[in-house]
Structure 1
């Protein structure tokens, strides 16, 4: 018997804005009651902090300083992280519709997805102007423009929108362009900045003194201010106004009033006149009490406040408190936003203009003050305090939160009803298999209630079989399902075989029928997507419940007898090609300790989610004679099996190893997999010891869904690598060569 509180409630946060960042930190400090599953859906691992964005544009702050890394934050909050974009909402079935994931179920939902500049109404703006949001697109476009200036002696930019955002962007972009010109020995006059604003004063909504200070600053810095001008079109390299004014610009940046995503209007949520989600003082939707919203996407119906980051930050604490209270069925608390707030506009040149109420001024002290405020806020997400235990009274107040005794043995199977429903949903969304190979070989599979799958082995071919299973290293079951399929099928591909069918074995976390159905649905949806890439059938399997999610597959494939790749096929003079980079072991070890950057894990996940099938097909065309997949035993562990089976020596070039982004940094910090030390036992077969080299530990780093390691003729190496790169394996490398065997087969490492 095992005792646990089953998952019974899903709290889903959508968007990683300022409010949700604070919510996650507070929930990490004081976790939700057992049985409540917390999930964040966001398309950004690194969420930009609006207070630091202008100074990042000007070059004062680097990327990491100006962004909140959501991956360690979600780890701290014990929150599942789904990397995706919300595109709709199914209120009737309480599901979030995503661009790539299957619909995600919720019981309690909170939205903090921000806003976007209004561009649709102006011809050419969407195609020829760079919107200030989403911020990653702005930053990428800005960096691309900066890169072009190395071969361009002048810079002319246009900014549409004279609110605080447009004003601050203009000042900081100008400051950065000045720096670039000075680095090339060119005068500042080579930088020309135009700002277009339909109002009569800059920084609409700020006091008169602030507007006067900004007008003077723009005049002193030579920024061309076009007031009372409405932009009616944006052509490539040109801004056209209703007055007839036409201005040539290298780049046009669009920083106008915020707009809500169009799909919100189709959801049925109550909105204001501009399409933003209408919320009560509790930050609760005016129409749906189990939905909350904060930040720019929300409008508090009882208060008229601008869309400003200061309010999103202030909403974080009451939002976290009210989400907790809603779960505990306690009265919610009202949040009352302040009427006056401090606003500091950075000029990009060491000073800032501060205003509050009717007062305003410019000073270097204000710049220091703003930096201190911003650094203190960002410090909340760099170092995490010890977690506080959940409150017993909160647990007791939630229905069905009592621990349950769970059986082992066959009594631990997932119930038939959630299993049946999950499979029905997966089959309904699966691609048609009418034209897939091997379909006629399946006599009994998922669509028939027999005790076992029955398949025919094609005439003249051999059956290739393998099995693998492991615990989830990701808290997103959909992506984990894809990775697990790719990992397990790689053994089939490494034998030169074609994958045909798989049997799944899954362990689902304890939960109610509805929650287990949802997890199994997400898990199998991801698996089916990956299986579809190789046209491989899921013909059956087994499900059980336990304390954590795990998945595995028994895989079957077919191969012609004379086309089998064996580990014993190494031949002297061949090149060794590795199709994927190394480093998943150290990266995920660091991730477990909140020490890995989100973008490093994103890159690792993308690599693991890539199938080895196309790589195997490519290697087959270039006379491969031996192959293996690099997984848990690490590069040297799997290579040693080939060396010993082939009775050959191998020379590895350490400098040529493809390495995942961030893996060297996490190794330098001492983060290694728990399997690393056992893998190092293979070092006994290495002829020379260079353990002091920083990349040496990568040789023993266990990989999940790693690449293929193959031996190809030296004469075909370059052509094979070129084709692998073209097929989407850009980090494929020739990492060594096969030599004639010595007395005892060994591996030699070249630095």
Structure 2
């Protein structure tokens, strides 16, 4: 994991996780550029390798074999991974506009998002056809189609593929191979499956040589595929394709592998586009009308080299793209990229057999498929087996920021700021973030108004003034921790959610929050953006909870960190307050969220966690406990706490002691985050785990379960964990059902409360 100590001077933002950008990330990982930070924005945490997708469809590979884990790759590269959908650009402000988060500033921007289906040009296609592209979302569409096919039991099933190029033919043959095997396994007659290929050209694979065309025509014919060539589809209706020739083709499922173009949002950017909506770039992969914007892969249309949309070019463009972005930041001349005129295409026929096509050359065989498999596997290993940087790269990454300013195209003011940022930092009030940076960042936050906040965030006073309503008491809590992820916006959400948890667990209403934050030093614009991103995420969570941010303190620190002092309101009648000490024998113990954040993020830092595990954990961590706590009170919960750093066992012990009860805890019932078990089985635990393990003395039968694979997870420290509560047995099923309806799908019974026995250990483990 790359952790730069440099002051960030320049930001490269990569939009899309395509083949070119994964190559760029790897190249920057192996040779970091001092003072340069990479940010990857994409909609998914895994990106498919197009060369292996037909093999995945055919069943030769599983999901992980054909997908590059962008989460792990970003950690390896020291890059920030932002999961969101890009919807536009503010080129004058040099910002990427996202659907669900604040805009992301850039100094250089690269776009590698592939192509987008242009179904709107064919009447009915959007409603009745399944597009193959964009390729990053292909898996969901394929699994949906596979499920529909498996459920089909009545009469023949006709599957049509529109597009007779290499992509359409390869996909059809892969689907046919897989689905025939599925039908056989289900005991259905394979003859009920019918496959149809439609193409606007008179031949299949129109861009390949005659021998390759003939070979695939023969394969399709031998496998009973009905071919409708020279038949451009002009209209699609339910189960019907209407061609320009007047021909009508009936189909139950329609896959669309043609007529792709540029993403619609590009049209509003003002960047030069060709007639297909693709970004026009020069020989250096740079936009022809904005030198700060680069593009590669299918989305790029080279001005001097009209290229087919093939993955081979996206892969080859990674190196010149990375090199030219480095040169651009250094203010040096860029180097042109000259694509090859002939390239090798290895096209599979679904059944571990492939055809090679290069110019006028063509040959085929099972050995060609094995050769293709070897090439593909070797490519994928580059993004899964991360070698250590060489000594030269290590030295380059540890250069001082002061020397880095000489190689980056910085203004004089920026150079001075960068040198200042790496100098010995002052303590005391000298460590505060500058007033202008702070005022700009906080001035853009939209904090909710509360009538009981008399003086708040945007008042120039020394402290906030808040009214306490009659009949209410104040409940106070504070939390603070270092960032454990590279996205300040999501980190802000998690930090705020974590801090609010104690108030909700006691049945309180969050009233106000005061923030304490540390931000690494750097250029003012970079510090301001990080602070704004982080506090925007936090304020969104606070606002949703009805909690007003009323002030705080921001200072410089070596790491990004955030915490909150939360003030809440609660009924001054102590009998109405939900505490840890109200458990009663006979109650049932429930947990509203899965556990495992400690081991997962320890693994994340070691490149040992899959991106989708981290993504799922973050979704759990940003889920508020507010509604869950209200539901628990509705069903008469007798005690409640939120799971945080002491782990499940630590918090359970905290509840049993003041309650004067014992508890039975079922290991097999524990809800676990995806990947948590794999990580602890690999021996990866949080740095806080050893301290938590000391609580094993509270276990009555620890020796009997110490080898259980779930045992370590009862000590796992949680961040923004769920609610642990005791509920009367006669109300627990209704309570769990409602919690699941409210959006806590993992809520489950994990144990029961017992009368206090003679043993000094209060916790009994069971399977």
- TM-score category (smaller protein): over 0.9
1:235 aligned residue? 237
Measure the CA separation in 2 of the matches of 1:273 and 1:236.
30
Q: Find the counterpart in structure 2 of residue 78 from structure 1.
A: 78
- Which residue is 2:749 aligned to? 734
- Correspondence 1:283 to 2:285: yes
Q: Distance in 1 between matches of 2:486 and 2:267?
A: 31
Partners of 1:53 and 1:453 in 2: CA distance: 58
Offset at 1:140?
2.1
2:518 corresponds in structure 1 to 507
Residue 138 of structure 1: how far off its partner (Å): 3.2
Of the three residues 538, 541, 548, the one matched with 2:549 is 538
Q: How far is 1:594 from its partner?
A: 0.3
Deviation of 1:40 after TM superposition, in Å, equals 0.8
Aligned residues of 1:5 and 1:404 also touching (Cα < 8 A): no
Aligned twin of 2:394:
389
User: Contact 1:6 / 1:404 at 8 angstroms: preserved in 2?
Assistant: no
1:136 CA displacement: 5.1
Q: Which residue of 1 aligns with 2:440?
A: 421
Counterpart for residue 347 of structure 1: 349
Residue equivalent to 1:338: 340
Q: Name which of structure 1's ranges 592-601 and 321-330 shifts more when overlaid on structure 2.
A: 321-330
Displacement of 1:187 in angstroms is: 4.2
Measured after TM superposition, the shift of residue 463 of structure 1 is: 0.4
Deviation digits for residues 587-607 of structure 1 (CA, Å, limit 9, x no counterpart)? 001000001000000100000
Partner of 2:32: 31
Q: Distance in 2 between matches of 1:604 and 1:289?
A: 39
* Separation in structure 2 between the aligned mates of residue 97 and residue 601 of structure 1, nearest angstrom: 24
**In structure 2, how many angstroms separate the alpha carbons of the residues matched to 1:188 and 1:280?**
51
Corresponding position of 2:423: 404
CA-atom RMSD in angstroms: 1.5
User: How do 1:709-720 and structure 2 match up within 5 A?
Assistant: 709-720=724-735
Q: Match of 1:426, SS? A: coil
SS in 2 for 1:518: helix
Q: Does 1:629 pair with 2:629?
A: no
SS at match of 2:394: coil
* 8 Å contact kept, 2:699–2:761: no
**How big is each residue's C-alpha offset from its partner over 1:51-107, in whole Å with a ceiling of 9 and x where there is no partner?**
000110111010000000011111111001111111100001000001111100111
Q: Secondary structure at the match of 2:290?
A: coil
| Counterpart in the other structure of 2:472 | 461
**Alignment pair present for 1:746 and 2:759:** no
Work out whether residues 516 and 562 of structure 2, in 8 Å CA contact, stay in contact via their aligned partners in 1. Answer: yes
SS state at 2:477 partner = strand
1:520 aligns with 2:528: no
Matches of 1:68 and 1:245 in 2, distance apart? Answer: 42
SS of 1:405 mapped into structure 2? coil
Of 50-59 and 195-204, more deviation after overlay is shown by 195-204
Matched residue pairs, number? 740
The match for 2:22 is: 21
Runs of 4+ in 1 over 6 A off after TM superposition: none
SS of 2:306's partner is coil
Report what 1:368 is aligned to: 370
> Which among 462, 475, 489 is matched to residue 478 of structure 1?
489
Q: Which deviates further from its counterpart, 733-742 or 202-211? A: 202-211
Change (3 A) 1:265 1:146: closer
Matches within 5 A, 1:537-686: 537-560=548-571, 561=573, 562-686=575-699
Contact 1:5 1:510 in 2 (8 A): no
More deviation, 144-153/116-125: 144-153
Q: Distance in 2 between matches of 1:117 and 1:152?
A: 27
Superimposed CA distance per residue, residues 667-694 of structure 1 (whole angstroms, 9 cap, x where no aligned partner): 1111110011110111101101111000
Would you say the 8 A contact 1:328–1:394 is kept in 2? no
Structure 2, unaligned stretches of length 5 or more?
Answer: none
Is 2:107 the partner of 1:107?
yes
Question: Per-residue deviation at 1:142?
Answer: 2.4
SS at match of 1:64: helix
Task: Report the alpha carbon displacement of residue 513 of structure 1 after superposing the two structures with TM.
Answer: 1.3
Deviates more, 1:328-337 or 1:622-631: 328-337
Once the two structures are superposed, residues 484-538 of structure 1 have per-residue CA deviations (whole angstroms, 9 ceiling, x without a partner) of: 1110000001111111110011111111111111111101110111112211110
Counterpart secondary structure, 1:147: helix
Segments of 5+ residues of structure 1 without an aligned counterpart are none
Q: Is the 8 A contact 1:643 1:745 kept in 2?
A: no
**Distance in 1 separating the partners of 2:496 and 2:353:** 55
Q: Which residue of 1 aligns with 2:54?
A: 54
Contact (CA 8 Å) 1:31, 1:390: kept in 2 or not? no
> For 1:177, what is the secondary structure of its paired residue?
helix
Please give the per-residue CA displacement for 1:626-670, whole angstroms capped at 9, x wherever unaligned. Answer: 111111000000110101111110001111100001111111111
Please give the alpha-carbon distance, in whole angstroms, between the structure 2 residues aligned to 1:150 and 1:105: 46
Q: Spell out the pairing of 1:297-312 with structure 2 (5 A cutoff).
A: 297-312=299-314
Q: 1:174 aligns to what?
A: 176
CA contact (8 A) 2:119 2:259 kept: no
Deviation at 1:186, TM superposition (A): 3.8
Give how far 1:190 is off. 2.1
What is the CA deviation profile of residues 558-599 of structure 1, one whole-angstrom value per residue up to 9, with x for unaligned ones?
Answer: 111232111110111001110100000010010000010000
1:440 alignment partner, SS class: coil
2:654 match: secondary structure:
helix
Question: What is the CA–CA distance in structure 2 between the aligned matches of 1:41 and 1:503, rounded to whole Å?
Answer: 31
SS of residue paired to 2:121: coil
Q: Secondary structure at the match of 2:318?
A: helix
d(CA) in 1 for partners of 2:128, 2:543: 38
TM-score, structure 1 normalization: 0.96
User: Residue 4 of structure 1 contacts residue 406 of structure 1 at CA under 8 Å; is this kept in 2?
Assistant: no
Q: 1:271 to 1:148 in 2, by over 3 A?
A: closer
Give, in whole Å, the separation in 1 of the partners of 2:5 and 2:243: 65
